[in-house]
Amino acid sequence: MKQTAFITGATSGIGQATARLFAQNGIDVVITGRRQERLDALEEELSKLVKVTALNFDVRDRAAVFAAVDSLSDGWKNSINILVNNAGDAHGLASFQDADLDDFDAMIDGNVKGLLYVSKAVLPLLLKNGNGHIVNLGSIAGKQVYPKGNVYNASKFAVDAISQAMRMDLLQEGIKVTEIEPGLVETEFSLVRFKGDQEKSDETYAGLEALTAEDIADAIYYAISRPEHVQVAEMMVLPKAQASTRDYKRD
């Protein structure tokens, strides 16, 4: 069956690796993000394999989300059956008493409200086109808090709750809902969290072999390529060197 996916946060890391893997497997892709040059480059690369279109919007901007989805041609609107809610990031790593309220806003607005806006905008297409599947990027951080994780943790606990709720509410509509819960993945995630501080970002991954974005793309592709009657509800994928949000084996 021909599949078409709408992937948020495809300009980097897990979203970009997922767009590539989907395209290599013949899945047409709508790629989204805010960095136009990266969207252009990925569109050019993947259009050699499948149909691709790029949408530039900030998931925190409710009107922009709906306008972007509405701007798709009928061809796309009549074929999208997979939504990968991947866009998201951590902003800061600070104890609750020291943390910046703007960082709290960015995480709640992006990781939670952004996911809700995109889901509400794309869901009518999934319902119309059949064989619908929503894949949400949760995290081990959405199952276990860690010191200074506070609102990032809260945003991913929300993704966990929203994923469970979607699975119940969409059951009778025939939509599958998968939550992928990665551990430490080496992407631009830490560079964003530490506001461009490369040294601090590198410390996150020092002395252990973190997951790659491709490892998580594999998990996402596994979930969306099961037989129609199989629903992968949740998948936590950790590096061998991680046991919890607080237990790492470093050299």
Closer CB to ligand 8X3, 92 or 149, in the complex = 149
User: Least distance from C-beta 120 to ligand NDP, angstroms?
Assistant: 16
Q: Provide the 8-state DSSP code for 228.
A: T
Does 54 bind ligand 8X3 (CB under 6 A)? Our answer is no
Distances (CA, A) of 170 to 138, 164, 217: 18, 10, 24
Task: Name the phi and psi angles at 24, rounded to 5.
Answer: -65, -25
Contact 90, 139 (CB under 8 A): no
Task: Choose from ligand NDP, ligand 8X3, none: what does 136 bind? Cβ within 5-8 Å by kind.
Answer: none
Residue among 128 and 249 whose Cβ is closer to ligand NDP: 249
- Known catalytic residue at 152: yes
SS3 231: coil
Closest distance to ligand 8X3 from the beta carbon of 34 (Å): 20
Instruction: Give the whole-angstrom CA distance, residue 57 versus residue 71.
Output: 12
CA angle 68, 73, 79 (to 5 degrees): 100
CA distances from 231 to 134, 167, 235, 238 (A): 11, 10, 11, 21
99 contributes a contact to ligand 8X3 by CB under 6 A: no
State the catalytic residue, choosing from 152, 221, 222, 248.
152
- The one of ligand 8X3, ligand NDP, none whose footprint includes residue 245, by CB under 5 to 8 A per kind, is ligand 8X3
Q: Closest CB to ligand 8X3 among 80 and 141?
A: 141
- Shortest Å, Cβ 2 to ligand NDP: 25
CA dihedral 64, 8, 27, 140 (to 10 degrees): -150
Cβ 228 to ligand 8X3 shortest distance, Å: 30
Nearest distance in Å: CB 63, ligand NDP: 14
State the Cα–Cα distance between residues 214 and 14, nearest whole angstrom: 7
Cβ-based nearer residue to ligand 8X3, 3 or 178: 178
Sites for ligand 8X3 among residues 128-157 (CB under 6 A) = 139-141, 149
| Position 178 contacts ligand 8X3 (CB under 6 A) | no
Position with the least CB separation from ligand NDP: 13
* Helix pair 150-169, 115-129: axis angle to 10 deg: 20
Residues that bind ligand 8X3 (CB under 6 A): 139-141, 149, 184, 245
